[in-house]
Amino acid sequence: MARYSYQVCQQQQNHITFVNGEWTGTIPLGGADTEAMLESCPMCWDYLAAAGKGGWELVSVMQAGSPEARFELLYLKHTA
């Protein structure tokens, strides 16, 4: 029977900001310049391309957040 590992990625404005609850940006979370913090996170297509090369598969996308602060949750799985 196959076993899987999973990643839950948060995407905001085409950037992957969190993976399994961990901040992905190179600028520390909580700074004054939120645009720079967001820009320091990997672009969605770059992250997914690298994850795909590592054997991860996108299995679902879900809209989340409020109308004022929309984001998507991307669910990836990998055969362990």
Q: How far apart are CA 57 and CA 77, in angstroms?
A: 5
73 is in which domain, residue-wise?
Answer: 4-79
Which residues is 78 bridged to in the sheet?
5
Q: Tell me how many domains the chain contains.
A: 1
The 3-state DSSP composition of the chain as helix, strand, coil percent (nearest 5) reads 20, 50, 30
Asked if 61 and 44 count as a contact pair (C-beta separation under 8 A), the reply is: no
pLDDT, tens only, 34-56? 899 999 999 999 999 999 999 99
**What tens-digit pLDDT sequence spans the chain (80 residues)?**
889 999 999 999 999 999 999 999 999 888 778 899 999 999 999 999 999 999 999 999 999 999 888 999 999 999 97
Per-residue pLDDT, 31: 76
Per-residue pLDDT, 2: 80
Asked if 10 and 18 count as a contact pair (C-beta separation under 8 A), the reply is: yes
